[in-house]
Structure 1
Amino acid sequence: MVSLKILFVTPEVEPFVKVGGLADMVGALPKDLAALGHDVRVICPAYGSVKRVGEWQALPDPLGVDVGGAAQWARTWQTVLPGSAVPAYFLENHDHFARPEVYTGPWGAHADNDLRFAFLCRGALALCEQLGWHPDVIHCHDWTTGLLPVMLNSTLRDTPLGRAATVFTIHNLEHQGWVPERVVNFARLPWSEMARDGITSNGMVNLMKAGLYHSTKLSTVSPTYAGEIKTPEGGFGLDGVLRYRAGDLVGILNGIDDTSWDPARDRFLPAHYSAADLRGKAACKARLQERFGLEVRPELPVFGVVSRLASQKGLDLLADAMAGIMEKMAVQFVLLGNGDARLENDFNWAAGAYRGRFGAHIGFDGALARLIQAGSDFFVMPSRSEPCGLTQMYAMRYGTPPIVRATGGLVDTVENFNEGWPDGTGFVFRDASVEALTNTIGWACATWYDRRAEYAGLQQRGMAKDFSWRASAGHYVQLYRWAISARLGS
């Protein structure tokens, strides 16, 4: 097969800048695509907080970006994705990207996000022109890149770049990028795009809608989520657009970097282990209990949580269920996360009320997250909505059966335990209720105490699952070729 030239335009990329799972995808998928023989490159802003991992080199020529009343300029830094030869370019501009935050500051979303990310879109295309490298397909990610397909379909349609197909991935439809109309002039777009079947909604520009209407093909991060977002309940006002584009929308399950997330060689763990020899997991559990000030008792099951503290993640259900769980079950809990102030207070309260059995770390610590995955006996993820989710895959990889609600990518990755049969990798419940969550944790607890051989089977089946990006990369290549064929035929 002919190799493709593939450009990723993204607001985040691991390990340089990360807010969520989008960064993990863009940090991993291009490497697997390159391993298949494709020419893949990544473009991202150089925020003030960007981590300069590896060797960075500034390109000799400044980059002129055709936005606003006159051309603006950027300096381009080049490096590679770690462990690969995939070029990664970072656009440096003081006005748009010098601040450390990606999307929001201390007082909420940046008021100039429309200008910042329009600059990213046009800057990415300008860099391609400067390099003399014209991609076959441009892979755009979430609302921040929604204007790039509009540019290719309008002002740049008759240029060499205008031949490029676009694939637009929806990572989380809830975040849509509502911005003022001024971005139309700033991005040098025709005002004819300000239409109901274009980029406008209620007198504002909706950047997610722009990407949905103008991209050649659409994808999202799990098959189940692809169905959910076409409904009024899951579409956040864009379900009509997605039903209109349903023939061009596919759900491709996200993967994980299984070379980094590997309990047999994870450098953040006090002991290593594998499916063939789980003895090191006990040492990880003891260290986890010590780290959170819990009683070091191997016979008690430890339930772990690593999450943003928000109602979307179902953490209010866990907070409301906690007193009943801790008073009725012989269990321990550890929690890592931050977010909603009320939930932070609730879990801090639980850590004080159930000292020695419940531990909470409010904040984020990547090394501690890995220890929780390895040292816990169960991983709790009661999300109301979860486009894909990665932490449940990490948990299974680390021999920690997950407890999840039946939504989005959680349904697509966790197989429900079937007592008495060699089936399942975790525990799945349907109702977003305190009762359903409590009962499922009780079911897991009973499995731990009464059916240890079946618990061991859950661990083994979870660790045997292949959640790497290799399979998903093949599906994306098929999608890219489909998009290219559609673009050239349009």
Structure 2
Amino acid sequence: MKILMTTSEAVPFAKTGGLADAVSALSLSLAKLGHEVRIVMPRYYSIDRRKLDKLEGAMGVPMGSGEEWCAVFTTDMPGSQKKNPVRMYFIDHEIFFGRDGVYGTPSEPDFLDNPRRFSFFSRSVFQLCRKIDWYPDIFHAHDWPTALVPVFLKFGERQGKFAGARSVLTIHNLGYQGIYSKNNFPYTGLGWNVFYDAGFDDWNMMNILKAGLNSADSLNTVSPTYARETKTQEHGFRLDGVLRYRSGDYAGILNGIDTKVWNPAKDPLIPVPYSTKDMSGKAAAKERLQEEFGLPVNQDIPVIGMVTRLTEQKGVGSLFGPSYGSAYSICRDMDIQFVILGSGESWCEQEIRSLSSRLPNFSGKIGYSESLSHIIEAGSDFFLMPSQYEPCGLNQMYSLNYGTPPIVRRTGGLVDTVENFSQEAGTGTGFMFDDLTPHAIYNTVGWAVWAYYNRRDQVEAMRIRGMKQDFSWEKSARKYVELYEKNLER
């Protein structure tokens, strides 16, 4: 099959979240299965043109009542096989993408012209195919920034060499939908009849994801449980009705992880590699972790680790809310150490700084560091993820791979990847709770700490079970192939 991934981000070129990891890893896995995969994304300011090859000639993209012009750059995706590389294409439009930030900046979190930026990008995808004379069987769009690709295909482009093409739209996070003033709609060049036929209308606004969900031939999201949750009012962000209506075309396929990068047996970012056959390297990682965060080096005390975006989705309100969050009580009442790496909402960053100064067993670092992330995953005894909702989640899978039992809320992909601990049966791979409250987080962390001190043999067995789980992308890629094939058979 010929598969074109249309995305706003992909590692190692641009990343704001798990979408970038998923697109790149899935593409490489599909190529290893023998499919011809290409990726197209914007060329942001941070992507160095000097390291790319430029296609000859400018490319015109019809938009609104006129035409936009852009350049196209290309290279092979790092990590590609020589015999079947994943080819990357970058749409270069200086006004739209020659700036800092993918969707916005700290001073302007959501660029005002985002609907125009990504309308142009989505339409440019089809012009690119014509320019390189390559016509995919599947257009695979990811999240709202490329949700217009299925719309353009259905309401105009599905003819000629695109006549047999089908579209798949993957929801990585339903909470982000691309809702803007409908005054931006004429720029798409689509008629106002399409505004209503495709379902853009959202309380007199323009909802880009909603139109994509109505227009794509197939829909999926990144875990089976999240697929079920998004069809409910609680987790559907007002699009649950659309997803229930399209239920027959909607699937949940669990994301995988890059087991070359996240593999404790071969990880160059941890002090000593380790595996289920020899776990001694985990103690070395714990020592390094305690040193990095300025905590007393002590192998006997359990370390709770976190690497997260500091947003409400990640449950930080119940954990760090001033005067009501449970983090202070956990560190005050329990014989533990607590480390966190993250950035996000300013109030939460400030609270983490405050706790670091007030508590001798709590240490937080604001920002992101790839090397520190690996040290936290490897050196912690437990990894905390109290998410409000979690479409898939990657950190709990990293944790399981590194023998670090996760403490998670029972939601989304966390349900599909973590098995709750049973003291009686001696089974499970982590610890789960239901209610997102400070009390529930406190009690579940306390349960894990109790097990560490009183059921150490069961915790060690839990580590090994987690490390034996298979979260590789190959398994997920085969399910995407089934989705594509079913789509093409229609």
Whether TM exceeds 0.5 here: the answer is yes
Matches within 5 A, 1:401-412: 401-412=405-416
Q: Are residues 1:285 and 2:286 paired?
A: yes
Q: Are residues 1:123 and 2:127 paired?
A: no
Hey, what does 2:481 align to over in structure 1?
A: 477
Structure 1, residues 263-288: CA drift from partner, whole Å, max 9, x if none?
11112112211111111111111111
1-side partners of 2:390 and 2:211: how far apart?
Answer: 23
Hey, what does 1:91 align to over in structure 2?
A: 91
TM-score by length of 1: 0.96
Amino acid at match of 2:374: R
Structure 1, residues 83-103: CA drift from partner, whole Å, max 9, x if none?
101101111110110012111
Q: Are residues 1:324 and 2:325 paired?
A: no
- CA displacement at 1:421 relative to structure 2: 2.3
Alignment CA distance shift 1:51-1:171 (3 Å): farther
Q: Are residues 1:428 and 2:425 paired?
A: no
Q: Are residues 1:102 and 2:102 paired?
A: yes
- CA displacement at 1:185 relative to structure 2: 2.2
- CA displacement at 1:51 relative to structure 2: 6.0
- CA displacement at 1:74 relative to structure 2: 1.5
- CA displacement at 1:50 relative to structure 2: 2.6
Hey, what does 2:241 align to over in structure 1?
A: 240
TM-score by length of 2: 0.96
Name the stretch that deviates more: 419-428 or 229-238: 419-428
- CA displacement at 1:65 relative to structure 2: 1.3
Q: Are residues 1:352 and 2:357 paired?
A: yes
Amino acid at match of 2:437: S
Matches within 5 A, 1:62-211: 62-84=58-80, 85-105=85-105, 106-195=107-196, 198-211=199-212
Amino acid at match of 2:75: T
- The answer as to whether partners of 2:151 and 2:198 remain within 8 angstroms in 1 is no
Please point out which of 355, 377, 390 is paired with 1:373: 377
Hey, what does 1:395 align to over in structure 2?
A: 399
1-side partners of 2:479 and 2:61: how far apart?
Answer: 33
1-side partners of 2:49 and 2:437: how far apart?
Answer: 44
- The answer as to whether partners of 1:176 and 1:207 remain within 8 angstroms in 2 is yes
Q: Secondary structure at the match of 2:326?
A: helix
- CA displacement at 1:424 relative to structure 2: 0.7
- The answer as to whether partners of 1:47 and 1:98 remain within 8 angstroms in 2 is yes
Structure 1, residues 429-467: CA drift from partner, whole Å, max 9, x if none?
111111111111011101111111101111001000000
Q: Are residues 1:47 and 2:44 paired?
A: yes
Query: Alignment identity in percent?
Result: 46
2-side partners of 1:52 and 1:464: how far apart?
Answer: 42
Alignment gaps of 5+ in structure 2: none
- CA displacement at 1:69 relative to structure 2: 3.2
Hey, what does 1:27 align to over in structure 2?
A: 24
Hey, what does 1:218 align to over in structure 2?
A: 219
Name the stretch that deviates more: 105-114 or 60-69: 60-69
Please point out which of 21, 36, 42 is paired with 2:33: 36
Please point out which of 309, 330, 343 is paired with 1:338: 343
Q: Secondary structure at the match of 2:364?
A: strand
2-side partners of 1:388 and 1:75: how far apart?
Answer: 35
- The answer as to whether partners of 1:118 and 1:183 remain within 8 angstroms in 2 is no
- The answer as to whether partners of 1:154 and 1:190 remain within 8 angstroms in 2 is no
- The answer as to whether partners of 1:28 and 1:257 remain within 8 angstroms in 2 is yes
Q: CA RMSD in A?
A: 1.3
- CA displacement at 1:203 relative to structure 2: 1.6
- CA displacement at 1:197 relative to structure 2: 5.6
- CA displacement at 1:182 relative to structure 2: 3.6
- The answer as to whether partners of 2:55 and 2:74 remain within 8 angstroms in 1 is yes
Q: Secondary structure at the match of 1:189?
A: coil
- The answer as to whether partners of 1:16 and 1:51 remain within 8 angstroms in 2 is no
1-side partners of 2:157 and 2:200: how far apart?
Answer: 17
- The answer as to whether partners of 1:221 and 1:254 remain within 8 angstroms in 2 is yes
Hey, what does 1:418 align to over in structure 2?
A: 422
Structure 1, residues 47-67: CA drift from partner, whole Å, max 9, x if none?
1123679x5211122221111
Alignment gaps of 5+ in structure 1: none
- The answer as to whether partners of 1:420 and 1:454 remain within 8 angstroms in 2 is no
2-side partners of 1:367 and 1:76: how far apart?
Answer: 33
- CA displacement at 1:422 relative to structure 2: 3.9
Q: In the comparison of the two structures, how many residue pairs are matched?
A: 481
1-side partners of 2:420 and 2:113: how far apart?
Answer: 45
- The answer as to whether partners of 1:417 and 1:425 remain within 8 angstroms in 2 is yes
Structure 1, residues 326-378: CA drift from partner, whole Å, max 9, x if none?
121100000000111111111111111113x1110011111111111111110
2-side partners of 1:398 and 1:200: how far apart?
Answer: 46
